[in-house]
Every structure is written in structure tokens, then in C-alpha cells.
């Protein structure tokens, strides 16, 4: 038996609608519920912010990005929001297993300095997952971008919980074919298009969105910069800062890479998954 005195009112927004005969009913406001989300970082794309709960990238859960081609559209979509994140927090943006080293001048043109990026490469998928989880737990990290094409729902759930507990921006990239699989992601998007980027919102808090959000092509100067070195290296070479020594034979090895001139960071120290 449930004691009605112990029942608390639901915090979800709702309104009262009049019915014939003077009756009334509570009507759930799904769209209002979606916009009543927790803290978020604006994406830098107004059309996209209008469709996202909280008005931007969530700080309490994972954003899953599905792509036909790994690495395509990443910085076009994420650089404006990441520039806001690094302005608010002193630490790096950690890239775990990126398919290409980003092009420094193109990112700097969008307000994201290349020296704020820390690249982590691993020899096995389990090590990549471990590195992403540890980065989320580091107090100095501004955001984590992880390419985890082989991660399952249970492994993604661990990252989702870590991002939620530590209030970090987390973006996980997977192949477009993973769209039929279940996902614990707070926000799930599919990226399409060549010049004008189309963002399909597959999962969000609130009502579904049938049509994709279309983002305009890059400005002329920035587009030329990115086109000149698509998938190219950063302006300064990226020497290996640390190679983690495995504690046990056959344990995964992580290669930490940082841009020249950046001060050492807590994540640069040698470490290996337990």
C-alpha cells in the first residue's frame, strides 16, 4: 500500500487544460520538458541550439555522433562549442584515437588553439575506452572526443556515467551502421552532407525531430584553410610526449602526444590500464 502522504509531486512541467463540464486535466508538456534540461554549452550553431535540450551540448552525458566517414565534419560541427569550453576551463581537449591529426590554423581560425589539444593513441580498443574514461575523471580536462567504433552498449554506458558524474563534454564517434544498435547516449546525432552539413537528431530528450538541421557551409577564408589541409597535421609537429610502460606483459600501451610548447599536463604522465 502506498502512503499518499509520502508521494511527492512530479517536477516535470505541465499545464492544466479545461474540459467540458468544468473538469480539468493535467497535460504533459513534452517540448517544455526537453528544454528544461541541465547545464549545456552552446554549440555555436543557432539552428542546432534551438533543437537541443538545454540549448547546446549537454554537460551531463554522452553525445554520440554517427558518420559514414570517420573524421568528416568533426571540427565543422564541434569547434565553436569547444572554443567556449576551453575558454571556461584551463585544461585540454583530449582526443582519443582520432583518425586524423587536426589542422591547427583551421582550428585557430574558429577560436580553438591547437596547443589545447591532447592526442591519445592506444594499441587496443579496451585501452582507448580506458583512456577516455580516465580523461573524463581528470578535473582539468575541458572535453573528451573519443573514436570508439567497436564499443558496445555496456562500455558506452560506463562513459555516459562518468561524463554525468564529472560534468564533462563527451563526444563519442561511431560508424553510421551503429545507428540500429541501442545506445545510452543522452544525445545521438548522424552527420551527413558534403558542403552544407546535415545533422539528423536520432535521440534527444523530448519529442522526435523528423527533418535534419542544416548548417550553412563554412565562411570563405575558413573554408579555404580547411580545404587546403583537410586531415593534415597541426602547424607544429606533435612529438610523442610519453609512452606508457605496461605493468604486465601484454597490457595495452597508450601513446600520449601533445603539441609543442604546451606545459605538461596531469594526463601526460605515464599510466597504463589496470
Domains of the chain: 39-265 (3.40.50.300)
Residue 38's pLDDT is what?
Answer: 61
| Each residue's pLDDT tens digit, 22-33 | 433 333 343 443
- What is the band of 43 on the pLDDT scale with cuts at 50, 70, 90? very high
Alpha carbons 35 and 51: distance in angstroms, whole number = 9
For residue 78, give every residue at least 6 positions away whose Cβ sits within 8 Å of its Cβ, in sequence order, or none.
Answer: 43, 145, 171
- How many helical (H) and strand (E) elements, i.e. helices and strands, does the chain have? 7, 14
| Owner of C-alpha cell 552539413 | 197
Residue 73 pLDDT exceeds 50: yes
Residue 68's pLDDT is what?
Answer: 83
Q: Which residue from 258, 264, 266, 265 is spatially nearest to 236, judged by alpha carbons?
A: 258
Structure pTM?
0.71
Amino acid at each position: 500500500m502506498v502512503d499518499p502522504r509520502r508521494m511527492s509531486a512530479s517536477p516535470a512541467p505541465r499545464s492544466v487544460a479545461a474540459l467540458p463540464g468544468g473538469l480539468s486535466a493535467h497535460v504533459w508538456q513534452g517540448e517544455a520538458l526537453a528544454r528544461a534540461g541541465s547545464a549545456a554549452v552552446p554549440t555555436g550553431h543557432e539552428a542546432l541550439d534551438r533543437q537541443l535540450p538545454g540549448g547546446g551540448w549537454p554537460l551531463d552525458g554522452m553525445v554520440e555522433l554517427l558518420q559514414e566517414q570517420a573524421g568528416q565534419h568533426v571540427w565543422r560541427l564541434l569547434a565553436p562549442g569547444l572554443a567556449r569550453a576551453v575558454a571556461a576551463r584551463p585544461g585540454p581537449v583530449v582526443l582519443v584515437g582520432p583518425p586524423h591529426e587536426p589542422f591547427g590554423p583551421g582550428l585557430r581560425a574558429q577560436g580553438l588553439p591547437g596547443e589545447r589539444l591532447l592526442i591519445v593513441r592506444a594499441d587496443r580498443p579496451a585501452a582507448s575506452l580506458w583512456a577516455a574514461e580516465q580523461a573524463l575523471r581528470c578535473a582539468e580536462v575541458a572535453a573528451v572526443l573519443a573514436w570508439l567504433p567497436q564499443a558496445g552498449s555496456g562500455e558506452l554506458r560506463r562513459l555516459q556515467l562518468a561524463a554525468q558524474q564529472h560534468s564533462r563534454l563527451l563526444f563519442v564517434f561511431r560508424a553510421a551502421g551503429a545507428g540500429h544498435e541501442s545506445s545510452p547516449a543522452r544525445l545521438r546525432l548522424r552527420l551527413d552532407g558534403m558542403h552544407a552539413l546535415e545533422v539528423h537528431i536520432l535521440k534527444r530528450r523530448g519529442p522526435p525531430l523528423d527533418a535534419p538541421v542544416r548548417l550553412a557551409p563554412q565562411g570563405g577564408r575558413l573554408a579555404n584553410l580547411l580545404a587546403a589541409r583537410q586531415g593534415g597535421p597541426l602547424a607544429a609537429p606533435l612529438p610523442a610526449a610519453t609512452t606508457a610502460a605496461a605493468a604486465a606483459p601484454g597490457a595495452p600501451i597508450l601513446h600520449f602526444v601533445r603539441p609543442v610548447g604546451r606545459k605538461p599536463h596531469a594526463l601526460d604522465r605515464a599510466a597504463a590500464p589496470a
